[in-house]
């Protein structure tokens, strides 16, 4: 039998290091806000009439429309350009389209998003609230669901352990994304928030399975120490923790490899979060119980 | 006991067969059904526009706000319908003190024109005219200027409009006011007998006919319109109703159809491959048990898709992704049950008893896991807007259906086919 509790400091240590790295990453690289949050315009245009390069287009926008705050990147497809700038009114938008079509021939708009700063600010506060609600909602539910097993571990301790794990599972992918974003120029948007919240909703599943078994073993193996009971429970539930994660990983990998390109970062983030969530469920949640118990 | 199992099995099987025909667009009957009840695809897949308007409520008393916003929604719906969008979705929302209108136009080709149609306020305003003497200065002689005093009468009070031609063949728009408007119009004309009354459309003075007498009955004619085409457009807009409050476009997301089609194909394939891989895994790891779980998973996919279609849940790309994730989760309950069953069998229990124990003992974990997911999806649903709302919705429906298929249906299948003999002995 694998003695988890013997090595608990090691496992928690790994988590702490990962958490620290995530925080360093978040504070060093920060998050670049997408237009969902900051407000602004994202414009994807296909130039099929004549070829145009990034600096050319940048120059064109600056000289013709007087736009200074501008970021042009080439899309993955030929002739597709992404243009990021301030919020544009519909009148400006139409004026620019007409001018582009006049000067570049065939110009097809693939996507045009323009978001006012008010909506962005609202979304930001909503995102923070949603994070807090999920974090505490799930933890409180766990404390409630385990309310009947007050001896020897009171149910709110299950809730606190869950809370710490959820936080861990959300922050590490976020930290990774911050570093990744600075390398690849990714921004955080609604999808990012949805991915983080989804990770939290999923990662708690395996924790529940382990806690549920601890709850049962506390009765079956009455009189044994908590550490022993945790060891027994972890070993008994190990295979199912891995397998439930694996089925999710299978569909996520399929989505990542074969699904739409626009979803790839969203899927990858959930994939990483799911794996980290499984780690924390097995190696972190129950050792945390022993720490909470010793105090 | 056995006949009850069997009848449930037959019922679910029939439902699944129906669902497959209903969902699969190329099936002979499915194609027929799809004509009347097509899949509702999201804007991001068929192309279209998601618009958010901020409503300027500054001139409206707080008691009237709700009726104004509802009126506004109706007017915009009529205008969009004029434009030929199959199923526009217009919802209202409130953010603090701000009122918003969210307009979803799926499958629309000319977004620009639609935005123009919606945003254009055929803002009709009647104004009194004051002649003001401008005294002579050193360089100019005394002139007369006109001062316009906006009256209370505006497009809000219009009941209907008609296109007519004057004796000279000029286009005229005859408008009819509602009762309140008729009263205002009568007062206004009585007050201004012998004086001109200015008519403004979208803040442009279009005519200022002289009032000869007080006009009761609530009918008026607008002259001074450029051509018949413009007059016709005006009539359409007046009939759809004038906007009861000014609106401003604050958010626009427009996606072209060409961008979506490819994503849809790819994601459906990814989902299919993922599902097959999950089934393969279940069969390889849990053998016979896994085989039945895979059948239950197939039923899950068919039934859930049928539910999406029946309730015309909008399938956006994010929504499809949410559904595919739910496929990966739907078998989780089976994993928990089968692992428990294996444990019980190791203890020396019989197959049928072990299975029953497996279902019974795994239930608390399954219930708690699913409840936390439901909680998360509800929070997500309320947090997001537009395209990604579909993700939370499909995931939520998926979790609910999977509780039925992964537990009830799987147990039923196993009792009939897998632990058959043992149940009979019991």
User: Do residue A103 and residue A231 come from a single domain?
Assistant: no
Per-residue pLDDT tens digits for A149-166: 766 778 899 999 999 999
Asked if residue B150 has pLDDT above 90, the reply is: no
Q: How many domains does chain A have?
A: 2
CB A42 within 8 A of CB A191: no
User: Same domain, yes or no, for A162 and A23?
Assistant: yes
Same domain, A103 and A139: no
What tokens were used for B122?
């055929």
> What's the pLDDT at A250?
96
Chain A residues whose CB is inside 8 A of the B336 CB are: 209, 240, 244
Mean pLDDT (whole number) for B112-141: 73
pLDDT at B238 over 80: no
Q: Which residue has the higher pLDDT, B395 or B81?
A: B395
Tokens for A93, please give them: 């938008």
Q: Does A168 lie in the same domain as A147? A: yes
Domains of chain B in start order, with CATH, are: 2-42+256-425 (1.20.1640.10), 48-121+249-254 (3.30.70.3400), 124-236 (3.30.1360.200)
Let me know whether A263 and A158 are in one domain: yes
The pTM is what? Answer: 0.81
- B99-137 exposure pattern, b = at least 16 Cβ within 10 A, e = fewer: bbbbbbbbebeebbebbebbbebbbbbbbbbeeeeeeee
**Out of B249, B256, B368, closest to residue A110 by CB:** B256
Q: Do A193 and B274 count as a contact with CB atoms less than 8 A apart?
A: no
- Residues contacting residue A62 through CB under 8 Å, at least 6 positions apart: A68, A70
So what's the pLDDT on residue A204?
Answer: 94
The DSSP secondary-structure symbol of B332 reads H
Quote the pLDDT of residue B424.
40
> What is the predicted ipTM?
0.90
Strand pairing category for A80-85 and B219-222: unpaired
Query: Which helix (H) or strand (E) segment is B21 a member of?
Result: helix B2-23
Q: Which has the minimum average pLDDT: B22-36, B150-164, B207-221, B366-380?
A: B22-36
How far apart, in whole angstroms, are the C-alpha atoms of residue B186 and residue B390? 52
Does the beta-carbon distance from B376 to A250 stay under 8 Å?
Answer: no
Pair A139, A269 in one domain: yes
Counting residues of chain B whose pLDDT is more than 90, the rounded percentage is: 25
- On the question of a cis peptide bond just before residue A24, with omega within 30 degrees of 0, the verdict is no
Which residues of chain B neighbour A129 with C-beta distances below 8 Å?
383
Distance from CA of B213 to the nearest CA of A (A): 43
Single out the residue in A87, A115, A143 at which a domain terminates. A115
The answer to whether residues A19 and A152 belong to one domain is yes
Q: What is the pLDDT of residue B85?
A: 62
The pLDDT of B224-230, averaged and rounded, is 74
Cβ neighbours of B268 in A, within 8 Å: none
Q: Nearest-CA neighbor of B16 among B419, B414, B287, B401?
A: B401
- For residue B423, pLDDT beyond 70: no
3-state secondary structure of B375: helix
Nearest partner of B380 among A196, A206, A255, judged by Cα? A196
The verdict on A67 and A141 lying in the same domain is no
Among all residues of chain B, which has the CA nearest to that of A110?
Answer: B256
> By the 8 A CB rule, do A285 and A12 touch?
no
Q: What's the average model confidence in pLDDT over B219-243? A: 74
- Regarding whether A13 and A159 lie in a shared domain, the answer is yes
Say yes or no for a CB contact (<8 Å) between B252 and A90.
Answer: yes
d(CA B175, nearest CA chain A) in Å: 30
B365: nearest CB among A110, A208, A257: A208
B124, B113, B123, B106: which is closest to B46 by C-alpha?
B106
- Which residues of A are less than 8 Å from B254 in CB distance? 109, 111-113
**By residue range, what is the domain housing residue A89?**
40-115
Give the minimum alpha-carbon distance from A17 to chain B in angstroms, rounded to a whole number. 28
Question: Is residue B421's pLDDT more than 60?
Answer: no
In the predicted structure, residue B117 carries a pLDDT above the cut 50: yes
- pLDDT tens for residues B19-63? 888 887 666 665 566 666 777 788 788 888 888 888 887 766 777
Residues of chain B with Cβ-Cβ distance to A90 below 8 Å are 112, 115, 119, 249, 252
pLDDT in tens, chain A (295 residues): 788 888 999 999 999 999 999 999 999 999 988 888 888 898 888 888 777 888 888 888 888 888 878 888 887 777 888 888 888 888 888 888 888 888 888 888 888 888 888 888 888 888 999 999 999 999 999 999 988 776 677 889 999 999 999 999 999 999 999 999 899 888 888 889 999 999 999 999 999 999 999 989 988 888 888 899 999 999 999 999 999 999 999 999 999 999 988 889 999 999 999 999 999 999 999 999 988 886 5
The pLDDT score that the predictor gives to residue B425 is: 39
CB contact (8 A) between residue A197 and residue B339: no
Residue B226: how many other CB atoms lie within 10 Å: 10
Whether residue A101 sits in one domain with residue A50? yes
What percentage of chain B's residues is helix, strand, coil (to nearest 5)?
60, 20, 20
Contacts of A197 in chain B (CB under 8 A): 376, 379-380, 383
A70 and A178: one domain? no
**pLDDT interval class at B84 (50, 70, 90):** low
What mean pLDDT value characterizes chain B?
82
Q: What is the pLDDT of residue B396?
A: 93
Q: Is there a single domain that holds both residue A123 and residue A223?
A: yes
């Amino acid at each position: 039998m694998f003695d988890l509790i013997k090595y608990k400091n090691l496992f928690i240590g790994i988590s702490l290091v990962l958490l620290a790295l995530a925080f360093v990453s978040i504070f060093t690289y920060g998050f670049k806000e997408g237009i969902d949050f900051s407000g602004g315009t994202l414009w994807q245009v296909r130039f099929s009439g004549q070829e145009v390069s990034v600096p050319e287009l940048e120059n064109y926008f600056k000289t013709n429309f007087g736009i200074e705050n501008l970021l042009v990147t080439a899309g993955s497809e030929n002739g597709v350009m992404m243009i990021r700038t301030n919020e544009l009114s519909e009148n400006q938008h139409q004026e620019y389209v007409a001018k582009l079509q006049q000067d570049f021939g065939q110009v097809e708009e693939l996507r045009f998003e323009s978001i006012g700063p008010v909506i962005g600010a609202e979304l930001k506060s909503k995102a923070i609230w949603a994070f807090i609600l999920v974090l505490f909602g799930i933890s409180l539910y766990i404390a409630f669901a385990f309310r009947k097993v007050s001896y020897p571990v009171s149910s709110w301790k299950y809730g606190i352990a869950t809370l710490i794990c959820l936080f861990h599972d959300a922050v590490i992918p976020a930290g990774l994304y911050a570093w990744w974003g600075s390398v690849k120029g990714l921004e955080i948007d609604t999808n990012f928030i949805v991915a983080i919240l989804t990770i939290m909703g999923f990662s708690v599943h395996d924790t529940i399975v382990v806690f549920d078994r601890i709850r049962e073993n506390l009765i079956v193996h009455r009189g044994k120490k908590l550490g022993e009971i945790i060891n027994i429970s972890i070993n008994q539930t190990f295979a199912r923790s891995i397998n439930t994660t694996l089925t999710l990983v299978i569909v996520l990998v399929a989505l990542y490899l074969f699904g739409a390109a626009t979803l790839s970062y969203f899927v990858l983030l959930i994939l990483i979060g799911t794996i980290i969530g499984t780690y924390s469920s097995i190696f972190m949640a129950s050792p945390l119980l022993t720490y909470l118990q010793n105090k | 006991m056995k006949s009850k199992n069997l009848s449930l099995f037959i019922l679910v099987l029939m439902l699944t067969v129906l669902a497959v025909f209903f969902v699969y667009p190329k099936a002979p009957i499915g194609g027929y059904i799809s004509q009347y009840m097509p899949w509702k695809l999201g804007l991001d897949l068929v192309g279209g526009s998601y618009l958010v308007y901020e409503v300027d409520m500054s001139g409206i008393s707080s008691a009237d706000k709700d009726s104004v916003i509802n009126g506004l929604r109706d007017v915009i719906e009529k205008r969009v319908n004029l434009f030929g969008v199959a199923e526009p979705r217009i919802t209202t929302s409130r953010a603090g003190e701000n009122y918003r209108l969210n307009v979803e136009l799926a499958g629309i080709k000319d977004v620009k024109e639609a935005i123009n149609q919606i945003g254009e306020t055929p803002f009709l305003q009647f104004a009194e005219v004051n002649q003001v003497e401008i005294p002579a200065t050193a360089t100019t002689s005394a002139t007369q200027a006109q001062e316009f005093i906006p009256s209370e009468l505006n497009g809000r009070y219009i009941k209907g409009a008609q296109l007519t031609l004057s004796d000279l063949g000029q286009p005229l728009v005859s408008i009819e006011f509602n009762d309140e408007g008729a009263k205002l119009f009568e007062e206004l004309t009585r007050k201004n007998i012998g004086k001109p009354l200015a008519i403004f459309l979208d803040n442009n003075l279009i005519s200022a006919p002289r009032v000869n007498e007080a006009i009761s009955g609530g009918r008026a004619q607008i002259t001074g319109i450029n051509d018949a085409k413009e007059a016709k457009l005006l009539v359409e807009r007046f009939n759809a109703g004038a906007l009861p409050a000014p609106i401003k476009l604050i958010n626009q997301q427009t996606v072209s159809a060409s961008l979506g089609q490819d994503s849809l194909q790819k994601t459906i394939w990814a989902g299919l491959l993922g599902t097959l891989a999950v089934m393969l895994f279940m069969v390889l790891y849990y053998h016979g048990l896994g085989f039945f779980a895979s059948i239950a998973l197939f039923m899950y996919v068919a039934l859930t898709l049928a539910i999406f279609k029946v309730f015309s849940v909008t399938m956006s790309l994010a929504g499809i992704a949410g559904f595919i994730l739910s496929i990966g989760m739907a078998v989780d309950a089976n994993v928990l049950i089968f692992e428990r069953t294996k444990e019980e069998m190791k203890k020396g229990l019989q197959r049928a008893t072990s299975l029953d124990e497996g279902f019974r003992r795994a239930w608390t974990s399954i219930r708690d896991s699913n409840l936390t997911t439901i909680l998360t999806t509800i929070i997500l649903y309320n947090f997001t807007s537009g395209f990604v709302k579909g993700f939370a919705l499909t995931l939520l429906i998926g979790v609910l259906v999977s509780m039925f298929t992964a537990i009830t249906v799987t147990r039923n299948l196993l009792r009939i086919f897998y632990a058959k003999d043992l149940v009979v002995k019991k």
